[in-house]
C-alpha cells in the first residue's frame, strides 16, 4: 500500500477497532434501544456507517458502484447485531481492496459525488478523509449511546 494512503488506512482501522470493541459489549436489545430525544438507534448508525463507507471509499474514491438508498439506511425496523457486524466487515474488506490499489498520485484526482445539495466536484483525497471523519463522528455517538444503554440495563436490573 502506498505510504500516503497507508496513513489514512491506519487511522480508519484504528477507529474501526474502537467501534468493534464498543459493539462487542452490546446485545440486540442495546443495538435497537431508543433514547428520548434521539432519532437513531446504534443499529441504524452502524448500517448507515457501512453504507456511507462503501459510497465514499469504494464508490467515489475507488470508482465502484455508487448505488445508495440513504433513506433506507435510517429505516426503523429492528436490526440484528450479527448482521450489522457482517455488513461492517464487508465494508472493511471493500475499503482494504480500494486502498491497496490506490496510489498517492491519484489522491488529487477529480471525482464527482452526489450529495443532498446535488452533484459536487471533489477529489479522491476528500472522499477518503470524509469517510474517516464520518466514522469518527458516529463512533463518538455510538460510544455515548452504548454507555446510556449500559446505564439503562443496570437501572432495570437494580
pLDDT at residue 87 in the model: 98
Distance CA 82, CA 88 (A): 10
Global confidence as pTM: 0.95
Distance CA 132, CA 128 (A): 6
CATH numeric code, 3-157? 1.20.120.450
For 34-75, the pLDDT digits (tens) are 999 999 999 999 999 999 999 999 999 999 988 899 999 999
Per-residue confidence band for 115, with pLDDT thresholds at 50, 70 and 90:
confident
Domain boundaries, the chain: 3-157
pLDDT at residue 116 in the model: 83
Q: How many CB atoms lie within 10 A of CB 66?
A: 16
For the cut 90, the answer to whether the pLDDT of residue 158 exceeds it is: no
| Cβ atoms 78, 41 nearer than 8 A | no
Amino acid at each position: 500500500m502506498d505510504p500516503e494512503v497507508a496513513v489514512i488506512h491506519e487511522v480508519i482501522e484504528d477507529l474501526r477497532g474502537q467501534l468493534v470493541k464498543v459493539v462487542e459489549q452490546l446485545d440486540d436489545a442495546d443495538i435497537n434501544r431508543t433514547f428520548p430525544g434521539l432519532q437513531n438507534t446504534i443499529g441504524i448508525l452502524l448500517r448507515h456507517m457501512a453504507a456511507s463507507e462503501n459510497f465514499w471509499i469504494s464508490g467515489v474514491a475507488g470508482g465502484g458502484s455508487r448505488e445508495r438508498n440513504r433513506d433506507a439506511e435510517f429505516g426503523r425496523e429492528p436490526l440484528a447485531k450479527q448482521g450489522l457486524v457482517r455488513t461492517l466487515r464487508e465494508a472493511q474488506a471493500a475499503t482494504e481492496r480500494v486502498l491497496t490499489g490506490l496510489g498517492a498520485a491519484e489522491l488529487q484526482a477529480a471525482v464527482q459525488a452526489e450529495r443532498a445539495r446535488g452533484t459536487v466536484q471533489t477529489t479522491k483525497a476528500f472522499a477518503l478523509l470524509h469517510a474517516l471523519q464520518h466514522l469518527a463522528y458516529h463512533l463518538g455517538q455510538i460510544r455515548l449511546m452504548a454507555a446510556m444503554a449500559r446505564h439503562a440495563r443496570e437501572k432495570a436490573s437494580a
